[in-house]
Structure 1
Amino acid sequence: MLKGTCLCGDIKFETHATPQGASMCHCSQCRKQSGGVWSSAYVLEEEMKITGDVLWYEASASAKRGSCPRCGSFLFWKAHDENTISFALGAVDGPTGLSLEKHIFVGDKGDYYQIADGLPQRG
């Protein structure tokens, strides 16, 4: 089982599912909300248990972002037309057992760093 929390501990999440699609997102929204690159993986929404009052922000017409209203931790990303939910790998307690698969929205990345790990780069 994978478990995680926000910084203050008010929001907790867990899943028994094997997360998929471990990636680092370089889009401007993730950069602005996280202060850098946002790493995440996803599971089916029904396989994710979340406790606490997540603050959902409608970031675009196609997706919303979930964070903790107390400490501000950016924890979740959910497309309106998908049955999966992405969660912040940095919020997982202990090892994830995952390896990054790709970088996404690299056309939007900041100019102050390079991507040099050899993983596929999209967008």
Structure 2
Amino acid sequence: MHRGACLCGAITFEVAGDLPPPNACHCSQCRKQSGHFWASTDVPRAAVTVHGADKVTWFRSSEKVRRGFCSTCGSVLFWDPIHGDWTAIAMGAFDAPTHARLAKHIFVASKGDYYELGDGLPQHER
């Protein structure tokens, strides 16, 4: 079981089972919403329990995706494909230890010009 929360604690969550290897998304939407790149793990929705779900505000960033954040403190927590059976949860919101390691970078063609990627992980343009 892995646990996490938003900054103010109004939203807490639990994920049953191991966390899949996270990825770092460098697309402009993730960078604008998070303030840098977005690191998250994709977990089956059935494995996630959210407490304080009434405090999650959803922003529909495209026809296919909504993004969930805390309406009290603004913490960005979820990236949720509307027609999928999984959700991405921000790695920074989890309590340690996660026992997870970043696996890859995605949308590197859109990455910010103020940083370099030098960790040796696979990089995907999309």
TM-score tier (shorter): over 0.9
| Contact 1:18 1:43 survives alignment (8 Å) | no
Unaligned runs of at least 5 residues, structure 2: none
2:33 aligned residue: 33
| Contact 1:45 1:84 survives alignment (8 Å) | yes
Which string of whole-angstrom CA distances, capped at 9 and with x for unpartnered residues, describes residues 67-108 of structure 1?
Answer: 000100000011122100110000111111001110011111
TM-score by length of 1: 0.96
Matched, 1:90 2:106: no
2:71 aligned residue: 69
Matched, 1:116 2:122: no
| Contact 1:17 1:43 survives alignment (8 Å) | no
TM-score by length of 2: 0.94
**Displaced runs of 4 or more, over 3 A:** none
DSSP 3-state at the match of 1:29: helix
Unaligned runs of at least 5 residues, structure 1: none
2:46 aligned residue: 46
Amino acid at match of 2:61: A
Number of residue pairs the alignment of both structures matches: 123
